[in-house]
A and B are shown apart, each in its own frame.
Chain A
């Protein structure tokens, strides 16, 4: 058994790796991820998963429902860390699987895969608590920078499924998707904002505005027509017309995205033009929601699988270990 396989087994038991192992794993992952494109086609059949948020045992439940990794292809839509108690183990397991089976699993960057956000919502503290230093956090956040942010699926009929944007979209469509910020910028400053997504150097912290930020923070909203300000303080709200225009312009059937808690695990909006998939059951261990994954067969036929929180997750041993000694 290779080191990597051993590490995967260890992580599957929810036992974190040693700091030096994390570092080595991250370097290997970096080599693989640097070869990936900003937008990448993923081949069906594939199972799409939404937010995990460090709920390790629930993710194991997910694998139980959806099948083990090399047997089933997976597309994770980001937000692996924060909130839950096992961000380290969750992300490292996914990363180890990525290194072991690069073609079988795709990881997309979510808004939580960011230095700033993880310092607020738990991943930073968890690394500090579990390793006594924040080096592991540093390694992981460096890897976040390499994660791609869009994938699309297509079959022979040209059906396409996206979180984000299809490849080689021409200027106008990007402007539409990037929101009023870009449009305002365009006309008032007479600056060209036409920037194909391929030419983004994604290895950077998620910025506070601009395309990369909007891709990760925006939400669809029923009552908004066109674009609206987001209560999250980043990204935008977008309404049905935006989605219609976008899908039409890009010849897309529907957009599949995560990023928002839905009690039923998944939720269609705007006449089945966009679907939100959420894969963290009983989010934050108290929201009481169920989770879902979306299975697509080779013809892109959809099947949602809904699952509940793992029993271990909700009533396991103490989730956090207290520090063994203290001065103050």
Chain B
């Protein structure tokens, strides 16, 4: 009964096809890639296959679906046929099998319909049906007619349809009887007629609809439907249609065909929605909708081709003498016109919109947006959204054309360009036009999104994004910072939340903050590079995260989601930035103060942790556990938290076997600020904790994770789990090598080590952070150091062996050995530390890699320079890092 819903088709990969045509020399020529639909052929009731090019919206293929059995489906993704009209072989190759079978089914059902119609024609001409004719239409025969229509089977219904259509006078006579009954107030008769008309409509025949919806019959038909026996009161549809509904003509329409179609469309819609909504079945509703649809297409198409009409429309819209009231109607008309053009085929709609742009619709809308009338502004934005949905490049190129070439100064005003639009959008965001923007900010969000959408191409987009980032991003961030209490982020969330609701805050509405946050997430996904520069330079992430101080939990959740979106970029610099600036802190605090409550905030933060764990984001994992485990440990009963720690411990265990390299690698990069000797020793040991396994291991970890998860689901005591699958492999690479390949060919080790050092870049960075955390964090450190101390002893042997292997390994290359020596000499003087020789070995072996690393660290230090010093946590450390890291880089580079 069609009551079961299906997931509707979207313009997605499901519809994506390649079109092939068989050339004369027997080869399949690729005609292009596009999206396939089944739709009505232009000005006809026949259905066809359309493929519209995904790039330029041109029609790649238009094929009337044939009732003949010409289609073949191959390999789940290909539909091919010989086109009888062009006598060529064509094929559609689908991206998705589902899409293929969907279109295949559609073709099948179109064919069934076609065959069905031929069949019924045959039966009519054959005249083998018992029902030869309908009773003559008279008052006395009405019950018989009703019985014939309503109580017949499907086959008979088709026969009846034929008979009704065949009898030219049937409806005229029926309506005559209706008028007589109405005059005589013959209620029973009227009720029967109601049922007859309803029954005929439910026959769902397009030719009948064509007849009864014609100008001469439709009002009588609607009249007869006023007498529903199930409704106690007579309905007054005709008087509603004739007297109450206003047909507005913004511009007089002269074409009588257009006029009649417009009225018909409204009446059919009225019949469908108001008169018979409960009686109609899905198939009938679909047919009525398609009548409305093709009427709309016809009307729009005729009007758009009437050049005088369009010109008059725009002339009046522009004219200063047009009254406010009629201007409003013109805009409403324009909106309806654009909106109904959805009924056109894509290509035609696109062409129409292009023409409207040429006529200057955007400057009209620009005017409208400045209007005092809220409703009109709403309509204006809706028009823009219609254009953006059809093709955002239209508005984009308009905007940039205005920016660039003053040629279009003849258009009323250049100020209605994007920047105007944007600032318009932002003005209300800032609460300056609060009353006004209130209802509209979601529309503006939508427009902004379309304009900033990165899937579009072309230079205009760049310009627009440029404007946005230069002029407006800061405004948005400003809105956030000014709405979140200016207390330091280090303060407890609950405390600042309390002071939040009170005075002293700029009253930006929370939903606006929510929208800004959403827009920022959108920007992160669409402009990863630009946003990165901007975010790193201007401390934006920190500012956005001040949202966690808000008392509205959905804003806190939105802030977490923002950070989660950033992390999903898997960008080293961003993650570095997060670690270095301790940006997870506000989130952890929000999580902790949320306590054991299992709510969305809880889920979102856990999801973030899960993501860090699953994606094996070593740097963040390490930073997270190192810095916050004390706070998180009380939630360890949650699997997400527990396995975070398990993963962390695994990575520790992994790294221990390799720690010597990492120790040294990190060593050279640490800032040496008056570290006491003991402390240094601690760090030497400590570094093992901070080391994170390399890429190879991450692969093996993610493979074995499901196993370990399932086989040890109750690691509730938090102890390090045994991981037989991991340890041999991870440790093996280096340690085994050490002993087994001692006197074999020496090539492999340097390669391995370079990989490790690459992986450790992250470690080093986060290690620095560790150093900066200051006295408060010290106890935690101590605990860890002690724990690590236990392992350190046994590793010394390995370490020594490894060192010796390495030095042997480089022997064949004299040059690298020299480099090694030189760095050994330099290093202590630079850093005042010992045991650095092995680092040099590692790094000097891979000069390319070295470069990469140093650029990495340079950009890090750059962003450090730009960090404002107002960050209480690491402000004092910031200034210390660059001076030391820069000379170090010089050394490395040599």
**B427: Cβ under 8 A from any A Cβ:** no
Residues of chain B within 8 A (CB-CB) of A325 are 245-248
| Contacts A35-B599, A194-B709 given; does A217 touch B7 at CB 8 Å | yes
Interface centre among A138, A199, A285 (most CB of B within 10 A): A199
Give the complex CA separation of A71 and B603 in angstroms: 31
Mask, A84-113, CB within 8 Å of B = 1, is 010000000000000000000000000110
Give the complex CA separation of A142 and B639 in angstroms: 29
Residues of chain A within 8 A (CB-CB) of B702 are 190-192
Tell me which of B59-67, B270-278, B455-463 binds A.
B270-278
| Contacts A199-B610, A233-B6 given; does A322 touch B710 at CB 8 Å | no
Residues B599 and A36 in contact, CB atoms below 8 Å apart: yes
**A200: Cβ under 8 A from any B Cβ:** yes
Output the nearest chain B residue to A320 by Cβ-Cβ distance: B273
- Interface residue from B3, B248, B600, B706 paired with A327 (Cβ < 8 Å): B248
Mask, A187-214, CB within 8 Å of B = 1, is 0001111111011111100001000000
Interface centre among A35, A82, A111, A321 (most CB of B within 10 A): A35
Output the nearest chain B residue to A170 by Cβ-Cβ distance: B713
**B617: Cβ under 8 A from any A Cβ:** no
Majority secondary structure, B binding face:
helix
**B337: Cβ under 8 A from any A Cβ:** yes
- Interface residue from B5, B240, B703 paired with A190 (Cβ < 8 Å): B703
Mask, B246-275, CB within 8 Å of A = 1, is 111110000000000010011001100111
Please give the number of chain A residues whose Cβ is less than 8 angstroms from any Cβ of chain B in the complex: 70
Give the complex CA separation of A203 and B559 in angstroms: 13
| Contacts A34-B600, A170-B713, A203-B557 given; does A232 touch B7 at CB 8 Å | yes
Residues of chain A within 8 A (CB-CB) of B610 are 195-196, 199
Residues of chain A within 8 A (CB-CB) of B614 are 192
**A159: Cβ under 8 A from any B Cβ:** no
Residues of chain A within 8 A (CB-CB) of B710 are 170-172, 194
* Nearest Cβ on chain B to A87's Cβ, whole angstroms: 14
Output the nearest chain B residue to A30 by Cβ-Cβ distance: B554
**B215: Cβ under 8 A from any A Cβ:** no
| Contacts A34-B557, A35-B599, A328-B296 given; does A232 touch B4 at CB 8 Å | yes
- Interface residue from A135, A198, A203 paired with B638 (Cβ < 8 Å): A198
**A318: Cβ under 8 A from any B Cβ:** yes
Output the nearest chain A residue to B340 by Cβ-Cβ distance: A328
Output the nearest chain B residue to A233 by Cβ-Cβ distance: B7
**B378: Cβ under 8 A from any A Cβ:** yes
Residues B278 and A322 in contact, CB atoms below 8 Å apart: no
Mask, A230-243, CB within 8 Å of B = 1, is 01111000000000
- Interface residue from B7, B10, B266, B600 paired with A35 (Cβ < 8 Å): B600
Residues A318 and B274 in contact, CB atoms below 8 Å apart: yes
Those of A272-324 within 8 Å (CB) of chain B? 283-287, 314-315, 318-322, 324
Residues of chain A within 8 A (CB-CB) of B336 are 326-328
Residues B5 and A121 in contact, CB atoms below 8 Å apart: yes
- Interface residue from A19, A34, A196, A326 paired with B247 (Cβ < 8 Å): A326
| Contacts A190-B702, A326-B245 given; does A112 touch B599 at CB 8 Å | no
Interface centre among B7, B240, B610 (most CB of A within 10 A): B7
Residues of chain A within 8 A (CB-CB) of B709 are 171, 192, 194
**A38: Cβ under 8 A from any B Cβ:** yes
Residues of chain A within 8 A (CB-CB) of B270 are 322
Residues B561 and A203 in contact, CB atoms below 8 Å apart: yes
* Nearest Cβ on chain B to A181's Cβ, whole angstroms: 13
Residues A34 and B8 in contact, CB atoms below 8 Å apart: no
Output the nearest chain B residue to A285 by Cβ-Cβ distance: B278
- Interface residue from A37, A111, A320, A327 paired with B598 (Cβ < 8 Å): A37
* Nearest Cβ on chain B to A116's Cβ, whole angstroms: 7
Residues of chain A within 8 A (CB-CB) of B584 are none
Mask, B456-480, CB within 8 Å of A = 1, is 0000000000000000000000000
Residues B278 and A199 in contact, CB atoms below 8 Å apart: no
* Nearest Cβ on chain A to B710's Cβ, whole angstroms: 5
* Nearest Cβ on chain B to A169's Cβ, whole angstroms: 11
Number of A-B residue pairs with CB-CB distance less than 8 Å in the complex they form = 187
**B891: Cβ under 8 A from any A Cβ:** no
Output the nearest chain B residue to A138 by Cβ-Cβ distance: B442
Residues of chain A within 8 A (CB-CB) of B133 are none
Those of B557-586 within 8 Å (CB) of chain A? 557, 561, 564
Residues of chain B within 8 A (CB-CB) of A40 are 598
- Interface residue from A111, A133, A170, A195 paired with B5 (Cβ < 8 Å): A111
Residues A116 and B281 in contact, CB atoms below 8 Å apart: no
Give the complex CA separation of A202 and B602 in angstroms: 11
Residues A327 and B553 in contact, CB atoms below 8 Å apart: no
Output the nearest chain A residue to B702 by Cβ-Cβ distance: A192
Residues of chain A within 8 A (CB-CB) of B24 are none
Output the nearest chain B residue to A19 by Cβ-Cβ distance: B439
* Nearest Cβ on chain A to B324's Cβ, whole angstroms: 18
* Nearest Cβ on chain B to A80's Cβ, whole angstroms: 14
Those of A29-66 within 8 Å (CB) of chain B? 30-31, 33-38, 40
| Contacts A315-B231, A327-B333 given; does A34 touch B639 at CB 8 Å | no
Give the complex CA separation of A199 and B552 in angstroms: 21
Residues A85 and B277 in contact, CB atoms below 8 Å apart: yes
Residues of chain B within 8 A (CB-CB) of A202 are 600, 603
Output the nearest chain B residue to A36 by Cβ-Cβ distance: B599
Give the complex CA separation of A234 and B438 in angstroms: 37
**A146: Cβ under 8 A from any B Cβ:** yes
| Contacts A171-B710, A315-B231, A319-B278 given; does A34 touch B246 at CB 8 Å | no
Residues A37 and B299 in contact, CB atoms below 8 Å apart: no
Residues A327 and B607 in contact, CB atoms below 8 Å apart: no
Residues B603 and A201 in contact, CB atoms below 8 Å apart: yes
Give the complex CA separation of A110 and B111 in angstroms: 35
**B705: Cβ under 8 A from any A Cβ:** yes
Residues A232 and B706 in contact, CB atoms below 8 Å apart: no
Those of B602-650 within 8 Å (CB) of chain A? 602-604, 606-607, 609-610, 614, 638-640
- Interface residue from A231, A286, A287, A315 paired with B6 (Cβ < 8 Å): A231
Residues A194 and B5 in contact, CB atoms below 8 Å apart: no
Residues of chain A within 8 A (CB-CB) of B561 are 201, 203
Give the complex CA separation of A322 and B271 in angstroms: 10
| Contacts A199-B603, A261-B3 given; does A116 touch B10 at CB 8 Å | yes
**B300: Cβ under 8 A from any A Cβ:** yes
**B601: Cβ under 8 A from any A Cβ:** yes
Residues of chain B within 8 A (CB-CB) of A36 are 599-600
Residues B98 and A198 in contact, CB atoms below 8 Å apart: no
Give the complex CA separation of A116 and B666 in angstroms: 51
**B332: Cβ under 8 A from any A Cβ:** yes
Residues of chain B within 8 A (CB-CB) of A201 are 561, 564, 600, 603-604, 607
Give the complex CA separation of A35 and B598 in angstroms: 8
Output the nearest chain B residue to A23 by Cβ-Cβ distance: B511
**A186: Cβ under 8 A from any B Cβ:** yes
* Nearest Cβ on chain A to B616's Cβ, whole angstroms: 11
- Interface residue from A172, A321, A327 paired with B332 (Cβ < 8 Å): A327
* Nearest Cβ on chain B to A327's Cβ, whole angstroms: 5
Residues A287 and B378 in contact, CB atoms below 8 Å apart: no
| Contacts A27-B511, A203-B561, A319-B277 given; does A194 touch B706 at CB 8 Å | yes
**A168: Cβ under 8 A from any B Cβ:** yes
**A4: Cβ under 8 A from any B Cβ:** no
**A117: Cβ under 8 A from any B Cβ:** yes
Q: Beyond A171-B710, A318-B274: 20 further Cβ-contacts under 8 Å?
A: A23-B511, A27-B510, A35-B553, A37-B599, A40-B598, A119-B8, A135-B442, A192-B702, A194-B705, A196-B606, A198-B598, A199-B606, A200-B607, A201-B607, A320-B277, A321-B274, A322-B273, A326-B248, A327-B248, A328-B340
Q: Which 9 A-B pairs have the closest CB atoms?
A: A37-B598, A325-B246, A233-B7, A320-B273, A285-B278, A199-B606, A234-B7, A120-B8, A327-B333
15 A-B pairs with C-beta separation under 8 A: A20-B438, A31-B554, A38-B598, A38-B600, A133-B378, A135-B439, A200-B607, A233-B6, A286-B281, A320-B274, A324-B244, A325-B248, A327-B247, A327-B250, A328-B340
